[in-house]
Structure 1
Amino acid sequence: MARTTTLLGAAAVAAALVLTGCSGSGGAGAAAAAAGPDLPIGDEVSTTVDPALTALLPDDIVEKGRIDVAVDIPFPPMAMYDDTNREVGFDPELGRLLGQKLGIDVSLNKQAFDSVIPSLQAGNNDIIMSGMNDTPERQETLDFVDYTHGGFAILVAAGNPKGITTQADLCGTTVSVQKATVQGELLRAMDCGSDPVTVTELPSDLDAQTALRAGKSDAYVSDAVVAEYVAATTADGEAFDVVRDPENPAGFNPVYSGIGLLKDDAGLTEAIRQALQALIDEGTYQQVLDRNNIGAYAVASAEVNQGAAQ
């Protein structure tokens, strides 16, 4: 059901938020309400409020005074903690930027990836910002405001002891992935004849990386943006190699990823979509991508459910 609020009411709420604040990051509910507004700080990208976009926010969000965001942390470069325990990375920084543009606070709530959708269904969070791939299956439950487009990448131990050079070489190997991700589905669907991929699903992306490093898997598969970051930063770049498949130089099976919202939250979906479009138009969206080293995976415009057309 679409829900809107008047410009006067929304603007008043936005002004109140600027003056008093509502919630901080790190958890939903009353405990967050006293922490103050979660806004960009330091060298993070910043923007300005657009009252016309604030007017699009549904009444229940305006009354609550914040948007609760489910985010799986750590999942660098999409989300991680800095040395002050502040949530940083593409998702937290873009989430704060969207809140600033909409004139409302955001609460960044750590949530295991396989429980982010149930957290929306239970009313604990309003949106998902966790590098989630936009797929037809997920669209049965969610609508996506897509914010990146890119493929998956394969990581192997340094020196590539198994000689994996293409996606097809994964047949007959053990591959670690994070639980409940599209990568696991794609690997199981590969046509390997009598020598299928053995998929090891683990609770977190870091667990999947650790399995490869410990020799419990032959490869690790993740979003290209994540895999590139992991290869460059783990053990000063000496732990892993990225498999460069000549037939898929930008990663295999490119997909859209985006912000997930329940299908009955059409009003909030449109508010988020228009706010993202405003950030794209003014260039701050690209700045957030670039500062997190994923500028090549930008979308040209803010669209909904592009995954259905892939």
Structure 2
Amino acid sequence: MASKKLMKAGLAGASFVALTALLAGCASGDAPEADVSEVAVDDAAVALLPQEIADAGTLTVGTEAYYPPYEYLDADGATVIGLDMDLIKAVGQKLGLEVQIENVAFDTLLPSLDTARYDVVVAAMTDTPERQENYDFVDYFNAGQGIVVAEGNPEGITAEADLCGKAVSVLRDSAQQGILEAFNSDICASSPIEISAQATDNDALIQVQSGRAAASVSQYPVASYNVEQAGGFELANEEPFQPEPLGMAVAKDNELSAAIQAALQSLVADGTYTDILAAHGQEGGAVEEVTINGAE
């Protein structure tokens, strides 16, 4: 007979697998998706494309598909869907390009721009002044931050300052990790947060589920989605804090940034942008003007 300790470990492992499967995709096959197949080409935006991309006829996109509602896997376990994917497919339509999407680890995305593995990274990535030193960001959405805790909120966390002195999990190399590190130099200087950086947002949630972390910090739409989809969690903060622009990342000083900006602005003008956000229940993060490197 297995020991109680081993049985408990097995049950815990099973629950972690269930959590990952639930948050990685929509098992019921009814995931929201906007139809962008009828989006018309915008000739003015096409004229801004770098010649090599126009000649290739393809836009290569890097993402990390474990961050719903922005990007995640469909019921087939392979197709990447979500708000960002609908937007970049619509951008491709505006630019007359085929969109090819590759799902890889988040912390490899920006380095892959350095080697030209991708033309653009679309992964709900926060535009920051630090990232702007090496990349350009076409800002298309505004998102604040959310704190996910275990159901019942045993640590009584309601705001950022309550994270001080506690173990907090976060996606590795994310803007949220940077936010927590900034807290440790400011509001948490006397009682630093123990930051647990994880490979995926699912892994960060597992740290909360297992009790290894008191909370996990992610973008508010992601935090809300995870709480709604998986049992055993709740949002600690009623209102998002520290809103930041999200941007599609392109290699520095690449003409592609202007083409994507023009395509996104065209989607705003014809209403497709609003339709896509509404399909995913994210109208609250809409922008009226698409900017480049708008973070301050």
Give the TM bin, normalised by the shorter chain: 0.7 to 0.9
Is this contact kept in 2: 1:128–1:260, CA < 8 A?
A: yes
**In the alignment, is residue 285 of structure 1 matched against residue 277 of structure 2?**
no
1:219 corresponds in structure 2 to: 215
Shift of 1:63: 2.1
- For the residues of structure 2 that align with 1:193 and 1:136, how far apart are their CA atoms? 23
Query: In the superposition, relative to structure 1, how do residues 193 and 102 fare at CA in structure 2: closer, same or farther (>3 Å)?
Result: closer
1:15 corresponds in structure 2 to: none
| Structure-2-length-normalised TM-score | 0.85
| Structure-1-length-normalised TM-score | 0.81
**In the alignment, is residue 263 of structure 1 matched against residue 259 of structure 2?**
no
1:254 corresponds in structure 2 to: 243
Is this contact kept in 2: 1:45–1:287, CA < 8 A?
A: no
Q: Kindly provide the amino acid, as one letter, of the partner of residue 211 in structure 1.
A: Q
SS at the partner of 1:137?
A: helix
Moved over 4 A (4+): none
What are structure 2's unaligned runs of at least 5 residues? 1-32
The Cα offsets for residues 196-245 of structure 1, whole Å up to 9 and x where unpaired, read as 1110001111110111111110000000111011011113xxx1110125
Is this contact kept in 2: 1:143–1:304, CA < 8 A?
A: yes
- For the residues of structure 1 that align with 2:274 and 2:236, how far apart are their CA atoms? 27
How many corresponding residue pairs? 260
Q: Kindly provide the amino acid, as one letter, of the partner of residue 282 in structure 1.
A: D
1:51 corresponds in structure 2 to: 43
Which of 137, 148, 151 lines up with 1:144 in the alignment? 137
Q: Kindly provide the amino acid, as one letter, of the partner of residue 70 in structure 2.
A: M
The Cα offsets for residues 252-300 of structure 1, whole Å up to 9 and x where unpaired, read as 11111110111131x1111000000000011111111111121101111
- For the residues of structure 1 that align with 2:226 and 2:264, how far apart are their CA atoms? 27
Which of 69, 79, 101 lines up with 2:61 in the alignment? 69
SS at the partner of 1:130?
A: coil
**In the alignment, is residue 122 of structure 1 matched against residue 115 of structure 2?**
yes
Q: Kindly provide the amino acid, as one letter, of the partner of residue 42 in structure 2.
A: D
Is this contact kept in 2: 1:78–1:130, CA < 8 A?
A: yes
- For the residues of structure 2 that align with 1:187 and 1:56, how far apart are their CA atoms? 38
The Cα offsets for residues 34-90 of structure 1, whole Å up to 9 and x where unpaired, read as xxxxxxxx8523411122322221111022220111111121111012123322101
SS at the partner of 2:62?
A: strand
SS at the partner of 2:75?
A: coil
Is this contact kept in 2: 1:175–1:217, CA < 8 A?
A: yes
1:22 corresponds in structure 2 to: none
SS at the partner of 2:52?
A: helix
Aligned-residue sequence identity (percent) comes to 38
Query: In the superposition, relative to structure 1, how do residues 103 and 244 fare at CA in structure 2: closer, same or farther (>3 Å)?
Result: same
SS at the partner of 2:66?
A: coil
SS at the partner of 1:189?
A: helix
Which of 229, 234, 244 lines up with 1:233 in the alignment? 229
Is this contact kept in 1: 2:169–2:198, CA < 8 A?
A: yes
What are structure 1's unaligned runs of at least 5 residues? 1-41
1:94 corresponds in structure 2 to: 87
1:297 corresponds in structure 2 to: 285
Q: Which has the higher contact order (CA 8 A, sep 6+)?
A: 2
- For the residues of structure 2 that align with 1:252 and 1:151, how far apart are their CA atoms? 5
Which of 104, 107, 110 lines up with 1:111 in the alignment? 104
- For the residues of structure 2 that align with 1:206 and 1:277, how far apart are their CA atoms? 32
SS at the partner of 1:108?
A: strand
SS at the partner of 1:230?
A: helix
